[in-house]
């Protein structure tokens, strides 16, 4: 194994190159740019034989991927934030047409106020689109996830698009020692894309029909079923990947010191690494505390969550997005799967790091301390009341 | 005409100029074509699941992304070594191509994709109930540009899409209409011999939206040309290379009076001023393109 110190975006673009997409289509937006710039260079240097469509908007980037994928090509795009929102309509269409497009979301906050830094509000917006949504904890996992994404999405049992969330700047612009696998190993792991149905004059088919009320619901039912059934494939591919490359970042979830834990922290993305460090330190002082990493946000790992959390005393969810007018999203979903399971540990909910506010080990410690002393229905971590207008300053 | 690429049994209205236009276009182009179709009447009347009227590979994605979807199809054919398999056509109505899908079309043009883009121009949003589009002509009644105490119908002239295509450097730009079906077929065939982006805008009367008798579709289409309201032209590499000559130019009233969408321009005080403005557009077309 050779470790190289690589920027997250460089590592991801290198691995996308190894997955050999036939068509790449993207529109620039910070902090996704380094990924698509690197891919442009690979195409310009002849290192990657792909058609690179430099579109006039993210809406068209997603649409070009849709058209290319439906013609039988392996496709790739990357975006974030406003770009992801502009794509949204097309993303619904891509999943319903059962096209295994792979998209990297360099997670970033949503305007207004304009903010280019990391949170998960963008990716969370895809919650109901029918895409498989994976969240990477670190650069290595982002690298590994992209290879897995093609394998999962293109599996005949699945045929769905996959979005990989990697935290903007925190993972896209930082450097870590990572292993980018060899071309031979990726080729062996990832077979060529070979769809059963595609646009061809040899077998003319109609795609994108309209369905009346007596047919539409069945189409949505099938999509929901397939997405749920993809859990098996996500887990299978994670295990196959471990066999092939020796690395395992979890399947639908990763449980970290949860077996004997009384308290479990839950999160998604790069915050998990910080949570792991903090809980390691707390364990040295005999605190039985663990971490549950949600690796697949869609399909939602309901059984895995219940199995991990049902006997715990306390669950602490820290998330980087909010459903305005309601509150937490991840914590609410966790509560909802626990509620009907008959097991209901106390779930405390923290909204943190919106718009890139730093989460340090101290922040996580503070969250745990607060959760130990009181029941926290919804807390905005590190909210600076001094800069709030008078009406909001309590 | 051999087997129709657009099969009968679809659900278009009687006298639908768009269905006729598509049939003529695709029979001239096909069968080795892949079509990306915008949301609109054409998609609705042809693709109700589990039926399909299409005898060629066909995709409908969304309203505004047809040219971008086609761009992806073309790029995929290229990279997969299947370029010789099919010509790629992006088609939609005036709303789908010239309004909401204009950005995607502009991108498709400037990137130089080998795609024939076709606007089936029925001059309003017909599928949603005849609302005004950027290609609705001056004075026309639509449900969102109704005549009234203070209104004489649509207050703006048509957006000049063919010239916008020319400004993109599109090497073949043409207009056509269903009444001149030989001309239409010739233009489609010619366009497909040219590599790169092509743009053809086809006037397709809509009896429902234009409020004319379904039996008059061809007559209305013909009068649009004979009055010089809709000049039939070809522009190659920025130069006007061919026009359909009008042997005896008719006054615009002959075209307008057949259509209920212009009814308010007849028999109302002050109407002449508005008719004169429409006549001026036709006269300018005749002069600009040397139609007469």
Q: Are residues A215 and A322 in the same domain?
A: no
Q: Mutual orientation of helices A58-70 and B102-110 as an angle, nearest 10°?
A: 70
> Please, which residues have CB within 8 angstroms of residue A320's CB and are 6 or more apart in sequence?
A107, A118, A119, A120, A121, A268, A269, A271, A351, A352, A353, A354
Total structural domains in chain A? 2
| A201 within a domain of the structure (yes/no) | yes
B134 in helix, strand or coil? Answer: coil
Distance between CA atoms of residues A104 and B177, nearest Å: 45
| The two structure tokens encoding residue A153 | 């999405």
Domain's final residue, options A214, A245, A276: A245
Q: Are residues A194 and A268 in the same domain?
A: no
Task: Say yes or no for a CB contact (<8 Å) between A209 and B50.
Answer: yes
User: A145 and A187 in contact (C-beta within 8 Å)?
Assistant: no
Nearest Cα residue in chain A from B66: A63
| Averaged pLDDT, A80-98 | 98
Which chain B residues are Cβ-neighbours of A63 within 8 angstroms?
Answer: 61-62, 65, 68-69, 71-72, 104
- A337-347 residue pLDDT tens: 999 888 789 99
- Binning pLDDT at 50, 70 and 90, where does residue B2 land? very low
Q: Are residues A367 and A388 in the same domain?
A: yes
Task: Say yes or no for a CB contact (<8 Å) between B75 and A205.
Answer: no
CATH number (domain holding residue A278)? 3.40.50.920
H or E element that contains A174? none
Distance between CA atoms of residues A42 and B211, nearest Å: 56
| A40 within a domain of the structure (yes/no) | yes
Q: Are residues A336 and A196 in the same domain?
A: no
Res. A2: pLDDT tops 90: no
Q: Are residues A137 and A204 in the same domain?
A: yes
Task: Say yes or no for a CB contact (<8 Å) between A25 and B54.
Answer: no
Distance between CA atoms of residues B235 and B172, nearest Å: 6
Among A70-74, B2-6, B276-280, the least confident range: B2-6
Which chain A residues are Cβ-neighbours of B45 within 8 angstroms?
Answer: none
Domain's final residue, options A227, A245, A263: A245
Distance from CA of B37 to the nearest CA of A (A): 9
Domain's final residue, options A245, A264, A291: A245
Nearest Cα residue in chain B from A87: B65
Find the CB nearest B75 among A51, A97, A207.
A51
Task: Say yes or no for a CB contact (<8 Å) between B62 and A70.
Answer: no
Q: Are residues A217 and A310 in the same domain?
A: no
Residue A71 in contact with partner chain B when CB distance is under 8 A: yes
- B7-24 residue pLDDT tens: 999 999 999 999 999 999
Distance between CA atoms of residues B205 and A12, nearest Å: 52
Which chain B residues are Cβ-neighbours of A50 within 8 angstroms?
Answer: 79
Find the CB nearest A67 among B47, B69, B107.
B69
Query: What pLDDT was estimated at residue A394?
Result: 65
Q: Are residues A229 and A315 in the same domain?
A: no
- Binning pLDDT at 50, 70 and 90, where does residue A391 land? confident
- B98-142 residue pLDDT tens: 999 999 999 999 999 999 999 999 999 999 999 999 999 999 999
| The two structure tokens encoding residue A376 | 């926290």
Q: Are residues A241 and A260 in the same domain?
A: no
- Binning pLDDT at 50, 70 and 90, where does residue A393 land? low
| A136 within a domain of the structure (yes/no) | yes
Please compute Rg for chain B using Cα positions. Answer: 18
User: Which residues share a beta bridge with A267?
Assistant: A293
CATH number (domain holding residue A65)? 3.40.50.970
Phi, psi of A70 (to 5 degrees): -70, -15
| A213 within a domain of the structure (yes/no) | yes
Mean pLDDT across chain B, nearest whole number? 97
| A219 within a domain of the structure (yes/no) | yes
Query: What pLDDT was estimated at residue A344?
Result: 82
Res. A113: pLDDT tops 70: yes
Residue A209 in contact with partner chain B when CB distance is under 8 A: yes
Query: What pLDDT was estimated at residue B4?
Result: 79
- B55-96 residue pLDDT tens: 999 999 999 999 999 999 999 999 999 999 999 999 999 999
| A362 within a domain of the structure (yes/no) | yes
* pLDDT-above-70 percentage for chain B: 99
User: A159 and A92 in contact (C-beta within 8 Å)?
Assistant: no
- State in Å, rounded, how far the first CA of chain A is from the last one: 55
Residue B42 in contact with partner chain A when CB distance is under 8 A: no
> Which of A63, A98, A220 is the best mutation test for B, with the most CBs of B within 10 A?
A63
Res. A216: pLDDT tops 90: yes
Distance from CA of A67 to the nearest CA of B (A): 4
| A293 within a domain of the structure (yes/no) | yes
User: Which residues share a beta bridge with B131?
Assistant: B125
* pLDDT-above-90 percentage for chain B: 98
Which chain B residues are Cβ-neighbours of A68 within 8 angstroms?
Answer: 72-73, 75-76
Q: How far is CA A269 from CA A272, B7, B196, in A?
A: 6, 52, 44
Name the residue range of residue A18's domain: 4-245
Which B residues in the span 180-219 are in contact with A, Cβ-Cβ below 8 Å?
Answer: none
| A250 within a domain of the structure (yes/no) | no
Distance between CA atoms of residues A104 and A205, nearest Å: 30
User: B76 and A23 in contact (C-beta within 8 Å)?
Assistant: yes
Q: Are residues A278 and A379 in the same domain?
A: yes
Q: Are residues A181 and A280 in the same domain?
A: no
| Averaged pLDDT, A119-129 | 98
Q: Are residues A127 and A205 in the same domain?
A: yes
CA-CA-CA-CA dihedral for A335, A336, A339, A344, to nearest 10:
-10
Interface pTM (ipTM) of the complex? Answer: 0.97
Res. A59: pLDDT tops 80: yes
- A267-282 residue pLDDT tens: 999 999 999 999 999 9
pTM: 0.97
**All structural domains of chain B:** 17-289 (3.40.50.970)
Which chain A residues are Cβ-neighbours of B76 within 8 angstroms?
Answer: 22-23, 51, 67-69, 71-73
Q: Are residues A358 and A270 in the same domain?
A: yes
Nearest Cα residue in chain B from A56: B107
Query: What pLDDT was estimated at residue B1?
Result: 38
| The two structure tokens encoding residue A242 | 């471990």
Find the CB nearest A60 among B37, B54, B107.
B107
Q: What is the DSSP string of B5-49?
A: SB-TT--PPTT-HHHHHHHHHHHHH-SSEEEEE-SSHHHHHH-BT
Residue A25 in contact with partner chain B when CB distance is under 8 A: yes
């Amino acid at each position: 194994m050779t470790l190289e110190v690589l920027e997250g975006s460089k590592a991801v673009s290198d691995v996308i190159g190894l997955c050999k997409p036939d068509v790449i289509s993207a529109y620039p937006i910070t902090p996704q740019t380094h990924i698509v710039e690197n891919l442009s260079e690979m195409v310009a240097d002849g290192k990657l034989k792909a058609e690179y469509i430099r579109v006039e908007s993210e809406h068209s980037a997603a649409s070009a991927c849709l058209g290319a994928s439906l013609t039988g090509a392996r496709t790739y795009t990357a975006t974030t934030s406003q770009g992801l929102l502009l794509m949204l309509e097309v993303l619904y269409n891509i999943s319903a047409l059962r096209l295994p497009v792979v998209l990297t979301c360099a997670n970033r906050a949503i305007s207004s106020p304009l903010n280019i830094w990391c949170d998960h509000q963008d990716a969370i917006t895809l919650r109901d689109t029918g895409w498989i949504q994976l969240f990477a904890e670190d650069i290595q996992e982002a690298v590994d996830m992209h290879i897995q994404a093609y394998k999962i999405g293109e599996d005949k049992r699945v045929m769905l698009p996959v979005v990989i969330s990697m935290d903007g700047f925190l993972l896209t612009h930082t450097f870590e020692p990572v292993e980018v696998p060899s071309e031979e190993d990726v080729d062996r792991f990832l077979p060529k894309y070979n769809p059963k149905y595609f646009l061809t004059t040899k077998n003319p088919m109609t795609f994108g029909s309209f369905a009346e009320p007596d047919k539409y619901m069945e189409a949505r039912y099938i999509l929901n079923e397939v997405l749920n059934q993809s859990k098996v494939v996500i887990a299978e591919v994670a295990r196959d990947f471990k066999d092939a490359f020796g690395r395992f970042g979890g399947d639908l979830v990763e449980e970290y010191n949860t077996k004997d834990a009384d308290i479990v922290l839950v999160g998604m993305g790069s915050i998990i690494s910080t949570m792991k460090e903090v809980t390691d330190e707390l364990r040295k002082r005999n605190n039985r505390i663990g971490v549950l990493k949600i690796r697949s946000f869609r399909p939602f790992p309901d059984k895995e969550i219940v199995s991990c959390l049902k006997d715990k005393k306390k669950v602490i969810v820290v998330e980087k997005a909010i459903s305005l007018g309601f509150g937490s999203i991840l914590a609410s979903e966790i509560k909802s799967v626990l509620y009907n399971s008959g097991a209901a540990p106390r779930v405390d909910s923290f909204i943190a790091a919106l718009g890139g506010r730093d989460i340090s080990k101290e922040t996580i410690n503070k969250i745990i301390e607060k959760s130990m002393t009181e029941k926290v229905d919804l807390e905005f971590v590190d909210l600076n009341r001094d800069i709030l207008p008078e009406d909001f300053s309590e | 005409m051999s087997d129709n690429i657009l099969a009968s049994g679809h659900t278009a209205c009687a006298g639908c100029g768009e269905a006729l236009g598509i049939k003529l276009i695709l029979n001239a182009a096909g069968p080795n074509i892949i079509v990306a179709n915008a949301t609109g009447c054409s998609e609705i009347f042809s693709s109700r699941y589990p039926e399909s009227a299409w005898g060629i590979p066909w995709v409908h994605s969304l309203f505004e992304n047809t040219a971008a979807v086609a761009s992806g199809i073309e790029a995929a054919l290229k990279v997969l070594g299947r370029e010789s398999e099919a010509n790629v056509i992006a088609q939609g109505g005036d709303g789908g191509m010239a309004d909401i899908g204009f950005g995607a079309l502009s991108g498709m043009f400037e990137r130089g994709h080998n795609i024939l883009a076709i606007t089936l121009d029925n001059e309003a949003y017909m599928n949603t109930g005849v609302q005004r589009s950027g290609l609705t002509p001056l004075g026309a009644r639509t449900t969102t540009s109704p005549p009234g105490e203070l209104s004489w119908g649509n207050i703006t002239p048509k957006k000049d899409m063919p010239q916008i295509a020319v400004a993109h450097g599109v090497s073949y730009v043409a207009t056509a209409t269903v009444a001149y079906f030989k001309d239409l077929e010739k233009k489609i065939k010619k366009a497909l011999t040219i590599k790169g982006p092509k743009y053809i805008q086809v006037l397709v009367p809509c009896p429902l939206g234009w409020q004319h008798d379904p039996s008059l579709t061809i007559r209305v289409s013909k009068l649009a040309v004979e009055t010089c309201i809709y000049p039939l032209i070809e522009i190659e590499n920025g130069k006007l290379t061919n026009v359909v000559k009008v042997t005896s130019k008719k006054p615009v009233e002959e075209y307008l009076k057949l259509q209920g969408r212009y009814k308010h321009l007849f028999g109302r005080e002050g109407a002449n001023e508005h008719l004169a403005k429409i006549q001026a557009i036709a006269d300018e077309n005749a002069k600009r393109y040397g139609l007469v």
